[in-house]
Chain A
Amino acid sequence: MNNALLNQVVEAFPDAVAVFDTDLRFVSCNRVFAADHIRYLGTEMKPGDSMYKLCEACCPELLQQSLYNWERAIAGERLTFAVAVGEPPVHFQISLSPLFNEQQVQEAVIMVCRNIQPELDARENERFFRSVLENLPVGLQQFSPDGWSRDINEMQRQILGETHPAVNNLPYNVHEDPINRRSGLNELLGEVVRRKAPVKKEMLLKYKEEKEEGQDVTRLVPLYYEGTGFPVMGMNGEIAYLFLILSEITEKKLAQISLEKSERLLYNIVENLPVGYIQFDNFGFIHRVNQTQRRFFAHSGLEEQPEAYNMISDPFARLFDMEELFMQVLQKGKMMRAEKKLEFEMDIAGGKMNREVFLDVTMFPVEDPVDKDQIVVALVNDITEKKRQELENAKAQEFLLQTGETGKIGGWEYDMTTGLLRWSAQTYKIHELPPFATITLEKALSFYTHESRKKVSQAVNACIERGKAFDLPVSLNTARNNLLQVRAIGKPEYRNGRIVRLYGVIQDVTEQFKIRDQLTRNTELMRLFFDTIDMGYAVMDKDGKVNFINRKAQEIVDHGKVIGKNIFEVFPMLEGSTFHARVRQCMQLQAPVSFSYYLPAPDKWYEFLLAPMQDGNISIFTRNITDSKKMQRELRKANDQLSSLNKYLVNQNKQLEDFAHITSHNLRAPIANLKALMQIMNETDSEEEKELYNSMFQEVIRNIDETLNDLIEIVQIRKDLNVERERLSFEERLQKVKDILFVDIETSGIEVITDFGEAPDIVYPRIYLDSLLQNLLTNAIKYRRPGIRPSMRFRSRLEDGAVVLTAEDNGIGIDMERYGAKLFGFRKTFHKNKDAKGIGLYITKSQIEAMGGSIQAESHIGTGTKFIITFSPE
């Protein structure tokens, strides 16, 4: 065996190496082995030493095992095993390999001892950390920089849930799961990558189903997590891994939310307190003001800058010692309360007004729960109204006292148990005794006059025995012997069912008595006065009770005793009458009301004047105006007649004017012609001309004759105002007219249609009705439209009790706009018709109007004309 070569090889091993022969004798070792041997065993092995020595030196407990393994190696086996040496144990991995010579005969064994302790330690560490991480109470997940899930711990598995791909070792990329975008996880990891630094964030990651106990309700409860992401950097400064830590903070979060909620609630409560709330810091700066206080500031005009407002330095606050109060609260740490009166000027609609405000200020210190600062809260209550009420009350009390003085009312009380009588100052005054002189019941009674004393004694006894209250008008003689009329009032006071006290007042009513006397006398005078006037006078209250009635009124009502009774009960027919309404009106308006009222039973008219009185009663003045009323009615009747006469006269006058007009126009024209003819005839000598003029004379005279005849006919109509009337049938009269006009009707072929059903007859002068019908029918024939069959439709009907006759033709019509005003005029014609003389309609109208009726026309050219005749009601 080449020992030199072996030694070199052995020496080259980094581990400790030793060689021993088949007889278990140490051959050689390398330097590492020697060093280790010395370090761990304290001995040095020399060549030829038995291997037992090695075992003995280091670990006798390993001898058996070592011997066994050595023997196996000597037998030609290659093996490796581990041993632990020393305390604390150091682990070595021992490898044994047989060494052969050139003849393949085993000569020795090489033993390589490798210290595996650091390796073991490292492995142990890793396992430990892994188990720690695995069992951490927070979720932990490892990602590749691009988001692929790499590893995950138990908590994280629970958080993600057993169905999550990452939990089931399936490929899962955190960036590709949309849910993470919502939860903010993506953003978190993204930021970690960007900043290469840890990032922390609160997230609502999921909801938990929670079953309500005993109820069939499942609630979804939000689960909040705090997510922390951090990068693990690689050797080259790139991100090697991303870690995500999730820790559940739901409870913390919910607590925080509920805190916020209650804070908000508190804020709202404070904000809406009906009491002013100001929160100061310990330097006197305002931190918070609620709306009541803001309103108050606004009212007082102090709102300029409430934030910058500092109470300690504010001159206004100093003026009212607010800052002193504040300092006291701060220093003594006690609640303080004070009423303050503030007066200031305020702007009101351009003007200044002094305002007075009472404030109830309560200040107390509070420690800020967060930063432990001392703060001061001021509650400000505007008690101006209350204060004013108090002042009012004080005033009222004062007033009451004064009333006692002026009303001359004194008080008294009698104690049943002690038998003591006490008087108030005013009572002494009434009795004209020096105040607070001793007084007894007997002495008090002695002031009353003989008769009054009896009454008072009885009343007092009755009150004591039976608890009967009293109110007596009595007389007493004062200490100075003045006779007074007083009103003595007493009442019992019970305690435990027993009368313990009598008390009451005594009022000096002497003056009232005098006044009442005077009043009674005045009333009597008034009665006398009212009885003598020739006018009914009564006073009644608002309900109708008669308080006073004078003789005249008594006569008018003519009904036993009325006074003291209700007028509406005595005379039920007045209930709801005009009288009643007027009474109410008078009460309501508080103003005098006058009206006339008719009493049907005696057939009399009365004029009433109702006047409200200050005491709520009503004075009633009444007067019989039957005569004047009747006269008035007569007068009105006469007036009516006069006015109808007047109307008649006006009508006559108009007709006369018409007549004058007719005369001036229609008679003058032919006369003028005559005059002219006379002139030209006189100026000529020619017989021939004279012959011509003669014929013209005849023509003119014939003309005059005709006109005169027309006029006579008209005058006749006007004269015949009282022409005889009779009941006439329209149908019958029309038939008569048709007979007269037989030829015209036949030649024109006019169709006459009638409808007299509604009003078949009328009381009317026969010749007028005939003339009317004839004129209408003649016109229809005369002014018929060429080319169509003429027709005329007569119809009679009743309208407001009057007979109305309409006559409608289908003739050529009249231009109403142009001729409407002249349609019924004398000698007015509107057609180039030789027969038109302009007299028919004039006569028709005259006749109708003479009988009190009227005629109108409606017409359209080319359509026809409709005449409407309204006869005067019968």
Chain B
Amino acid sequence: MKPLHSIFIVDDDPIHQQITQIMLDRLSISNDVTKFSDAQDVLEHLRTHTNDAAALPDVILLDLNMPIMDGWEFLEAFSLLRPQLCKDIKVYVLTSSIDDTDKERVNKFDFVAGYLTKPLTNDVIMKLGR
């Protein structure tokens, strides 16, 4: 299995960030996990590195419920930014919400690779690698 190089975890819950990182480390999915509490920071990082493939992540795990900028706003902004990026980034929504309306709303963003509900399981993490 080819390990993923870079994963961004975007979540305002520090416990969740920590747990996710531990799980990713255990399965050796990635050797480069970056944690963000604010989606705004992620967006700024991507904007400043549109042409720097090494600085861009391979996968973003995005929470929906966040203060300041929530997951929805990030998705809107990212859909505009995506064509300028030199790398195809896989975005997974990772949320505690099991609300169907949220799921449908996420489906409208066709570039989202998957809708995952917390907690993450090893099976799900293994699928991310494929």
A668 touches B118 (CB 8 A): yes
**How many residue-residue contacts, CB under 8 A, span A and B?**
70
Q: From the candidates A664, A696, A838, name the one contacting B18 in the complex (CB within 8 A).
A: A696
Closest chain B residue to A696, Cβ basis: B15
A673 touches B65 (CB 8 A): no
Residues of A within 8 A of B20 (CB): 676
State which of A127-135, A767-775, A824-832 sits at the interface with chain B: A824-832
B119 touches A673 (CB 8 A): yes
B23 at interface, CB cutoff 8 A: yes
Considering the complex, which residues of chain A in the window 631-685 have a beta carbon less than 8 Å from any beta carbon of chain B?
661, 664-666, 668-673, 675-677, 679-680, 683
B68 at interface, CB cutoff 8 A: yes
Residues of B within 8 A of A665 (CB): 65, 96-97, 99
Residues of A within 8 A of B22 (CB): 680
B67 touches A829 (CB 8 A): yes
| B85 to A: closest C-beta gap in Å | 24
CA–CA, A503 to B101, complex, Å? 103
B121 at interface, CB cutoff 8 A: yes
B98 at interface, CB cutoff 8 A: yes
B97 touches A668 (CB 8 A): yes
| A596 to B: closest C-beta gap in Å | 49
A703 at interface, CB cutoff 8 A: yes
B57-87 interface code vs A (CB 8 A; 1 in, 0 out): 0000000010110000100000000000000
B118 touches A672 (CB 8 A): yes
A422-448 interface code vs B (CB 8 A; 1 in, 0 out): 000000000000000000000000000
B16 touches A680 (CB 8 A): no
Residues of B within 8 A of A670 (CB): 15
CA–CA, A830 to B66, complex, Å? 9
Considering the complex, which residues of chain A in the window 709-733 have a beta carbon less than 8 Å from any beta carbon of chain B?
none
CA–CA, A679 to B23, complex, Å? 9
Residues of B within 8 A of A675 (CB): 119
B2 at interface, CB cutoff 8 A: no
| B19 to A: closest C-beta gap in Å | 5
Q: From the candidates A673, A828, A831, name the one contacting B15 in the complex (CB within 8 A).
A: A673
A535 at interface, CB cutoff 8 A: no
Residues of A within 8 A of B122 (CB): 679
Q: Provided the pairs A669-B16, A838-B67 are in contact, do residues A661 and B118 lie with their beta carbons within 8 angstroms? A: no
Residues of A within 8 A of B16 (CB): 669, 672-673, 676
B26 at interface, CB cutoff 8 A: yes
A359 at interface, CB cutoff 8 A: no
* Count of chain A residues near B, Cβ 8 A: 29
Closest chain A residue to B37, Cβ basis: A832
A699 at interface, CB cutoff 8 A: yes
| A825 to B: closest C-beta gap in Å | 10
Residues of A within 8 A of B118 (CB): 668-669, 672-673, 676
Closest chain A residue to B117, Cβ basis: A672
A672 touches B68 (CB 8 A): no
A680 touches B23 (CB 8 A): yes
| A399 to B: closest C-beta gap in Å | 87
Q: From the candidates A669, A680, A683, A836, name the one contacting B67 in the complex (CB within 8 A).
A: A836
CA–CA, A818 to B72, complex, Å? 12
B32 at interface, CB cutoff 8 A: no
| B29 to A: closest C-beta gap in Å | 14
A669 touches B26 (CB 8 A): no
Residues of B within 8 A of A270 (CB): none
Q: From the candidates A676, A818, A829, A836, name the one contacting B119 in the complex (CB within 8 A).
A: A676
B26 touches A664 (CB 8 A): no
Closest chain A residue to B16, Cβ basis: A673
A828 touches B19 (CB 8 A): no
CA–CA, A683 to B120, complex, Å? 14
B19 touches A664 (CB 8 A): no
A700 at interface, CB cutoff 8 A: yes
| B60 to A: closest C-beta gap in Å | 19
| A3 to B: closest C-beta gap in Å | 165
A830 touches B67 (CB 8 A): yes
CA–CA, A680 to B24, complex, Å? 11
B residues with a Cβ closer than 8 A to A are 13, 15-16, 18-20, 22-23, 26, 38, 65, 67-68, 73, 96-99, 117-122
Closest 9 CB pairs of A and B: A672-B118, A676-B119, A669-B96, A829-B67, A668-B96, A672-B119, A675-B119, A676-B19, A672-B96
A-B contact pairs, 14 of them (CB 8 A): A664-B99, A665-B65, A665-B97, A669-B16, A669-B96, A669-B118, A673-B13, A675-B119, A676-B16, A696-B19, A829-B68, A830-B67, A832-B67, A832-B68
Apart from A673-B119, A680-B23, A838-B67, what 16 extra A-B contacts exist at CB < 8 Å? A661-B99, A664-B98, A665-B96, A668-B118, A672-B96, A673-B15, A673-B19, A676-B119, A680-B26, A696-B18, A696-B19, A818-B73, A827-B65, A829-B67, A832-B67, A836-B67
A residues with a Cβ closer than 8 A to B are 661, 664-666, 668-673, 675-677, 679-680, 683, 696, 699-700, 703, 818, 827-832, 836, 838
